[in-house]
A and B are shown apart, each in its own frame.
Chain A
Amino acid sequence: MNHTSGGLQLAGITKRFGSFTAVDSVDLEVRPGEIHCLLGENGAGKSTLMNVLYGLLKPDEGQIVIDGSPQNFTNPRQAMAAGIGMVHQHFMLVDPFTVAENLMLGREGGFVLAKDAARQRVRELGERYTMPVDPDAVIEDLPVGVQQRVEILKALANDAQYLVFDEPTAVLTPQEIDDLMAVMDRLRSEGRAIVFITHKLREVRAVADRITVMRRGRIVGQAAPTASEAELAEMMVGRAIDLRVAKEAAAPGEPRLVVTGLKVANTAGGIVVDGVDFDVRAGETLCIAGVQGNGQSELVDALLGNVTPLEGTVTLDGTDITRATPRQTIDAGMGFVPEDREADGFVAPFTIAENLVLNRSNQAPFAHGLALDLAEIDRNAVALREEFDIRAQSVHDPISSLSGGNKQKVVLARELSRPLSVLIASQPTRGVDVGAIEFLHRRIVSERDKGTAVLLVSTELDEVEALADRVLVMYRGRVVGIVSPDTPREVLGLMMAGVPLEDAQGAPRPGKEENHG
């Protein structure tokens, strides 16, 4: 690469983990005032490459050049000083600290900076980028979307000229995504450069100035922002992808999961699920749509048995499971994909093989009496790695060494690999690439066709449209309505804001209402 112009160049970067080459002589140029999209399948090496840029990983080969001068980062502090900021796939905030305190932590000079000044800075930056955040709010009390704003503010407080966003939209609601896009636009117009990693091709087409595609550690090409989603998908995965799920119309049978009058409180005691009724029949997929934080998480937690409902009943195939423990619901055939995979989906220091049997570790064939059957656990892991295309070097590696999307595949592989009566999945394809989404969607559809009742919680309207047979819209802990998946998005949007179906459609249509409540 030539080092003549300004901007940031990565030249010949190689990063190996043992004998595995995660990033293989990658050249990448990032110019001021552009949004540069980095695309690639799960495990392609995107996060690894960016961690090298941010000083978190030392490259085995290659050079980072900023404005013509070669850099040698050994830690993020140096990268920050050189004008690089990064918002990670997993936030790196100190939870019990306030927003302002977190901002101080990231600054050169640390606590020398007065707290009032930090508060002031949060307000200023928040105003300038229309990302208002209360400087005195404690991180752990904030919703994910706001926590992410804090991460961005942290980078901006250091006056980062080069910002890396690693899958920032995976955890955001559609509204929050729009806000983020506006912020990114604003940053670009100030002459800052953004490296944007995402698996959502729609977003890529909306904001990208340039697109670089990685596969298996290498750059496989550039794409124009005008390229179609199908073209981008093919470049990423190396084969044509069917972006639509082919599925037969549902043939629903008897109701399997029946929920009546369910009331659930959150840990603070507030009623967050307020008298919800619905049923999921054999062989159908019911999607719960709604803006995050309207009771969906607590609802599925109560179904699993992690929290005990205040009122109401839940039955599975006629058996009352209202007060069942997770052990009992799992043994009754409930598959469960938690919303927050890092917190609830796996045990980070455990191996991939151990995580694949996490909910069956004390049952045949993985255990006989008290003894674990390690050979069987291994056999299971090797088979599932193959089937679900989990990109891992060895099933004995800790799951924490996997890329984000591959961790998600482990969770799904575990849940989809045993006989289920009902599958409850929250954001099942969060962070997985288009190729894997195609596969996972097909698996979920075939689970449905086997007669499993599928309950899906998704903020992703594309996913809802692709998989749902019926759509339940939740708002403030109540069911606004249950509608068909081809309901226009504007109507769904209004319902998600609490407007009942008839009002949302503009004209009242008596008798057409499908709401159970």
Chain B
Amino acid sequence: MAEEPADDARRAALRDRGRRWATTAGSILLALLVGAVLMIVSDPDVISQYAYLFTAPQLALGASWTKVAGAYSALLAGAVGSPAALAATAWQAAPLIAAGLGVGIAFRAGLFNIGAQGQAIWGSIAAAYVGFAWSLPPVVHLLVAVVAGVLFGAVWGGIVGLIKAKTGAHEVIVTIMMNFIAASSLAWLLLTPAFLRPGRIDPLAPPIQPSAAFPVIYGQLHVGFLVALVAAAIVWWLMERSTIGFAIRAVGSNASAAATAGMNVAGTTMVTMAISGALAGLAGVMYALGPGANAVATPLSLGLVGSVGFDALTVALLGRSRPVGTVLAGLLFGGLHSGGLAMQSLAQTPLTLSTVLQALIVLFVAAPAIVSALIPKVRAPRRPALVGGEA
């Protein structure tokens, strides 16, 4: 009796996983379809062919095909078409994975960390500062810079946890405000003597010293990508095998039962936000210390971290807040980014299309989840879990 049911549970879990993969694959396909339609309707040359749709349909269809196939093959080539493309994808994926892991951990504690952006900004500030202002021996310099960035991210996230735990303020509002503060702090810092490049007055910090940069492995692929993978492994262990993860998951699923069982809900919230911030900070570190297109790290500037904090939300959603899923989602979106760049230069399709694709994929995957996430009250009295297995 003991063997069979366990087997059964395993089979059910496998079936579930199969379904999830199917949904994700279906979502990617749908997104590509919608993307194709967008490309066709937004290209005047192609659309003009549709005037002859009934007399000479081959013109319209042919033009559409050329357009879509050209763009998507450029996308594919740019993402995975060559070793250099793969390296570029990994470069894009590394910060997405790190920040995605951070957002995912917060999700599992029932927290919406919209503040990954601000945490990443602080991570990049601290890492870059150590990188250009301090002189340390090679390996030590990199380590100190990474730790500084991670620490600043952790503090920036931890403050949110502290405010929430002490005052009950909602973390979404607090993190959004903290994003503004972080972005403005960066803008201000860049104009202070400590950050200004000697002889310049525009907001651009000095380049970091080579000893603080992530060593290049191949093309744009650098050690930071491996750090992201290690972070994913650590997060997995933390969530599934450690007492901290046990508490985070318990608090995230039922805070009042967790409190009754003696867990420190406020403390767990703070720890979670600090870990989440640390991972987002690591994403900032990647931008500050990772080699750019010309193999040299990009100096700290206003837009250095891009929109990684918000992209991280989509990565965590697509990865269902699980480390393996987050790595895969990070790679997918990293590929869309690097492929999008190729698509722009080779097929004259705007880069924003890859952003649209990314958003569409998550939208399709999350469609049912969005509703219950936005209106948690509706979820609670839902039918018993019984139904779930049947659907």
Contacts and interface: CB of A to CB of B under 8 A. Distances in A.
Interface string A16-38: 01111000000000000000000
A362 B244 CA distance: 8
Contacts of A374: 241
A48 B263 CA distance: 34
Contact of A372 (B6, B241, B384): B241
Nearest to B237: A371
Interface string B241-272: 11110110110011011111111100000000
B367 interface: no
A362 B253 contact: no
A376 to B, nearest CB: 13
Contacts of A350: 249-250, 253
B389 interface: yes
A361 interface: yes
B6 A394 contact: yes
A345 B242 contact: no
Interface string B216-260: 000000000000000000000000011110110110011011111
B242 A398 contact: no
Interface stretch (B72-80, B169-177, B374-382): B374-382
B165 to A, nearest CB: 14
A95 B380 CA distance: 9
Contact of B261 (A93, A326, A398): A326
Nearest to B3: A394
Interface residues of B, number: 39
Nearest to B4: A19
A344 B243 contact: no
Given A350-B250, A370-B243, A400-B384, A330 B262 contact: yes
Contact of B9 (A96, A327, A396): A396
A90 B243 contact: no
B326 to A, nearest CB: 19
B19 to A, nearest CB: 16
Contact of A359 (B262, B382, B387): B262
B259 A306 contact: yes
Interface in A400-414: 400-401
A94 B378 contact: yes
B250 A358 contact: yes
A354 interface: yes
B202 interface: no
A346 B8 contact: no
Contacts of A88: 384
Interface string A274-318: 000000000000000000000000000000101000000000000
Given A344-B256, A348-B254, A348-B385, A358 B261 contact: yes
Contact of B246 (A327, A361, A398): A361
B385 to A, nearest CB: 4
Given A345-B257, A394-B6, A354 B246 contact: yes
A164 B321 CA distance: 39
A92 interface: yes
B59 to A, nearest CB: 48
A56 B257 contact: no
A306 B253 contact: no
B383 interface: yes
B259 A326 contact: yes
A503 interface: no
The 4 closest A-B pairs by CB, nearest first: A393-B5, A18-B8, A359-B261, A362-B243
Interface of B: 2, 4-6, 8-9, 11-12, 241-244, 246-247, 249-250, 253-254, 256-264, 377-378, 380-387, 389-390
Interface of A: 17-20, 48, 51, 56-58, 76, 88, 90-96, 304, 306, 325-327, 329-331, 336, 338, 343-350, 354, 358-359, 361-362, 367, 370-372, 374, 393-394, 396-398, 400-401
